[in-house]
Structures are given as structure tokens and as C-alpha cells.
Amino acid sequence: MERNSARRPRVGAYRLAGLLAAGIFLISSVAANAQTVERVVHISVDGLNVAMLRGLLDDSPELVPGFSRLIDEGAYTFNARTDYNYTTTVPNHVSMITGRPVVQPEGQPDTVHHGITTNGPAQSATIHSIGNLALGYIPSVFDAVHDRGLGTAFFASKTRLAAFVERSYNAQYGAPDTLGADDGRDKIDDYFNLDGDSDAAVTNFLAAMDAAPRTYSLVHIVDPDYAGHASDWESDEYRDAVLATDERVMRILDYVGSDADFAGKTAVLLTTDHGGAGENHTDPLVGGSYTIPAFLWGPDIPAGVDFYSLLANRTDPGDARPDYNAPQQPLRNGDTGNLALALLGLPPVSGSSMIPVLSLSPDPIPGDIDRSGSVDRLDLALFAGHFGTTGATWETGDFDGDGNATLVDLALLQTNLTHAAADSPQAASVPEPPALVLATLAAVAIVAPSRWRR
């Protein structure tokens, strides 16, 4: 025993510095892991208005198990927004994939918007040929994923939308890949569209993911929009279309939750291009059209929380309809492509302007033993009382999850130690942080060998 401890090297300054550096590294990798997934399934439900969905969720959640699950297990809001000026399918979907407003916001540069105002593009048109000509090529979330050597998919059920998007990013019209290895100009690896048949879109999507799981997938479900136009946005037919949509969503959630290539490493992000009221949705001044739901579900996404609580630079607009110059921006469907990229740990679409900032904090800060929200003198005092504990938990000083309260844990704590006021009266008698860290380190160097021998 004596020889053992005598041979053990003293805790020297260099070793401590190394441990502190290791602590910093651990923290940054913990933070990155908390916010990234390997795959995102981005679902756009065409014409999904808030009134019907909320009514179903409130009155008969058993009829909408898919949406119920998104709410119970993830983040959600019923108060996101469409584009400010347009509440139609093609312009809003182009915003989703490009991260840009439809038209130039007043006072902003002419390179901010994508410029696709038509809801019925000609069969030869591309986003680049009829969009904002000041931009030339208009990159998308498909470019951002594909050009990094990752797989993409687009499964849809509305031809005038799907064909236009697919054409814009195919082998002929997609831009050369100048990022890293050349993955070719075709930005969308798997493409499927059958007008009016979202069941086929989802069935083919799941089959394609079985064959080749992709990093980013956009799945478009048309049913509510077509039912809304055929009847209206409050009709039984519309309600049935939302129920049918729920069944498709449930199938995707079941697949993503159980397939080995997706389970535990996939986020599902669901929103819509526009809502609807009465028999239409084209008036951007109508609340039922510009007010839309949004859902985020996946590992590290807290359950049952307001979507806005996870966004650092987005604010619930209440009843307002903020334009793109408003200091507090709402979450918009045009944010969701870049949100998908953020979830994947990738930078936003090149040149895009709608860039929501995710701020997930699923775990306490390493060192925050008492989970007060900050690491302070009391945490350090508590840690000193547990140092060397084997079989330790968070409460007894294990922050890196190795089951022991070690110098690495102290380093994590020290890195996060704030000089803010103590979080409890007990801490008032504890010395100021710099002195205490030195004192604790000295104590550690003395007591460590005997603790480690056990």
C-alpha cells in the first residue's frame, strides 16, 4: 500500500493543466452531442391549420396518436408563422428549403429573398430561372447536405410543387459541388411524387430509407390542402384528411423510433406551408392562414415544451403578424430547413437569412451538483466533500459519467465556475472562487492517494 502510493506521481501543474484542457474538450463535445442528430425527417403537411388540429388534440387525442405523440414527447407550438406576404404552397416551400423570405423585405438588400411568388411554375422553370435574378443560383437545404457527401430525399404528393423543386436541384440545374469531394450536381438522391397520394409517398419513403437511409429527408403530405379546397377548412372532409395525415405521421414516427439506422439518432421536424380558413388560404392577412403549427421531436428534445423555449432568437408573436424587420421574429416555416441543418450540426444554407438558433439544455451544467442553473462556490464546496468517491453520481461529484468523482470532474466544475453571487445563504461563508479552487486542489493533492487506494 505504502509503495503503491509512493510510486504514484504527484499531481503536478502540467498534469492539472492537461486535465483542465481535457475538461474543456469534454464540455464542448457534450454540448455538441446534445444538439446534433445523424438524421432529420422534415415533414411538411400541406394546408394544416391550427384550429382543426388543436380541436382534435383537445377533444379526442386518441384519434390523433401521431400528433399527440409529437406533443407529449417533443416541442411544439401552434403559433408559428408562414412567410409574411405569401400563404401559398410553392412560395412557402421554397422558403423552407432555401431559408429566405419570398419577396424583398423593405429596406433589406435585394439578395435576401428567393423571389418565387408563383404557386404554379411553368414546367420548364426552375427556382433559379424565375426566382430572384440578383442571386443567380439559389442554394437549398438539399445542397447543404448533399455537397457535404450526405444523403438527401424528397417524397411528395403534389406535382406542381415537387417537380419544380426536383428540377431546380437535379443533375442539369443543380450547382457544381465545390465543397470537399465532388458529389455531383444532383442534390436530391431519392425523389418520389404522386399527386394526391401521400400514402404512396410515405410508403415509398419508408421503403427507400430501408434500402438507403438518408441524412435529410423532406416528406410532403398533401391531404389537408386538397380536402380544404374541395370542402372547407372546417369540414368533416378536412377533419378526415387530418386524421389520415396523423396515420402517415404515426408510421414515420414508428419507423424512425424502431429502425436501427434511425432510432435514437433522428429528429422529426413537422410544419406546414400555410393554414386555411373557409375555403382558401391565399390571403396573407387571414390569421387562420398565416398561423401555423410546428413540432420538433427527437433525442435531447425535451418533452412537452413550447417550441419557442428552444429557440434563442425567436419569440412567440402572440396575435401579431411581424414582418421581416420586426426586432423579435416568430418561428416561421421558412426557418425549418436551417433548423434541420442545425440539428444535424451543419451550417445554414449558403446565403440564407432565416437562421433560427437552437438552444437545447437537456442536461445540467457539469459541476452544477445542486442543479441550481449555475456552477458556484456552493457546488465547489459540495464537490470537495465528495472528491474521491467511487460509485459516484451527479449529486456526489461525477459529471463525466465514469462513476467516480475525480480530478476530471473537478476540472469540469472549475471550467464552469462563475463568479456570480452564491445561490444559497449556506455558500456565504465559502471563500471567493480563485482562492477556493487553489485550496481545493491542494486538498485534493494531499488526500487523493489515500482515497484512490480504496
**Shortest distance, CB of residue 119 to Zn ion, whole angstroms?**
8
* Least Å from the CB of residue 415 to Zn ion: 52
Q: Residue 379, exposed/middle/buried by CB under 10 A (0-12, 13-18, 19+)?
A: buried
Q: Single out the segment in contact with Zn ion by CB under 5 A; choices: 35-43, 225-233, 242-250, 376-384.
A: 225-233
User: Which CB atom, from 189 or from 225, has the smaller least distance to Zn ion?
Assistant: 225
- 224-232, 251-259, 306-314, 355-363 -> range binding Zn ion (CB under 5 A): 224-232
Which are the contacts of 136, defined by CB distance < 8 A and separation ≥ 6?
128
Stretch that binds Zn ion, among 36-44, 198-206, 223-231, 247-255 (CB under 5 A): 223-231
Minimum CB separation from Zn ion for residue 100, in Å?
21
Q: Of 217, 105, 99, 94, nearest to 167 (Cα)?
A: 94
Between 86 and 387, whose beta carbon lies closer to Zn ion? 86
Work out how close the CB of 123 gets to Zn ion at its nearest, in angstroms, rounded to a whole number: 19
**DSSP track, 17-45:** HHHHHHHHHHHHHHHHHHH--SEEEEEEE
Give Cα separations from 303 to 76, 296, 338 (angstroms): 9, 10, 22
Nearest alpha carbon to residue 201 among 220, 186, 184:
220
Q: Minimum distance between the CB of residue 128 and Zn ion, rounded to whole angstroms?
A: 24
Least distance in Å: CB of 225 to Zn ion? 4
* Of the residues 143, 189, 225, 368, which one makes contact with Zn ion according to CB under 5 A: 225
**Range 242-301, binding Zn ion (CB under 5 A):** none
How near is the Cβ of 414 to Zn ion at its closest, in Å?
57
Q: Where are the beta strands (DSSP E) in 82-221?
A: 152-156, 190-193, 216-221
Residue 376's contacts (CB-CB under 8 Å, 6 or more residues apart) are 417, 418, 420, 421, 422, 423, 427
Cα distance between residue 392 and residue 397, in whole Å:
6
* Residue with nearest beta carbon to Zn ion: 225
Considering only 92-100, 181-189, 222-230, 291-299, which stretch makes contact with Zn ion by CB under 5 A?
A: 222-230
Q: Which range of residues in 76-84, 219-227, 302-310, 426-434 is near Zn ion by CB under 5 A?
A: 219-227
Residues 150, 155, 157, CA angle at the centre, nearest 5°?
160
Contact positions with Zn ion (CB under 5 A) in 359-398: none
| Cβ atoms of 98 and 138 closer than 8 Å | yes
Smallest separation, CB 282 to Zn ion (Å): 8
For residue 332, the SS3 value is strand
Q: How far is the CB of 222 from Zn ion (least distance, A)?
A: 9
Nearer to Zn ion, 45 or 127 (CB): 45
CB under 5 A: which stretch of 217-225, 359-367, 368-376, 423-431 binds Zn ion?
Answer: 217-225
Closer of 35 and 87 to Zn ion (Cβ): 87
How many chain residues bind Zn ion (CB under 5 A)?
1
The smaller minimum CB distance to Zn ion, of residues 49 and 132, is found at 49
Beta strands in 128-243, from DSSP E residues, in sequence order = 152-156, 190-193, 216-221
CA nearest neighbour of 97 among 202, 183, 32, 188: 188
Pick between residue 190 and residue 225 the one whose CB is nearest to Zn ion: 225
Query: From CA 409, how far away is CA 426, in angstroms rounded?
Result: 22
Nearer to Zn ion, 92 or 416 (CB): 92
Choose the binding region for Zn ion from 15-23, 169-177, 221-229, 439-447 (rule: CB under 5 A).
Answer: 221-229
Using the minimum distance from each CB to Zn ion, give the nearer residue, 223 or 423. Answer: 223
Closer by beta carbon to Zn ion, 89 or else 168: 89
- Kindly state the smallest distance separating residue 214's Cβ from Zn ion, in Å: 27
d(CA 128, CA 116) in angstroms, rounded, equals 9
Three-state SS for 282-303 is CCCCCHHHHEEEEEEECCCCCC
- Contact positions vs Zn ion (CB under 5 A): 225
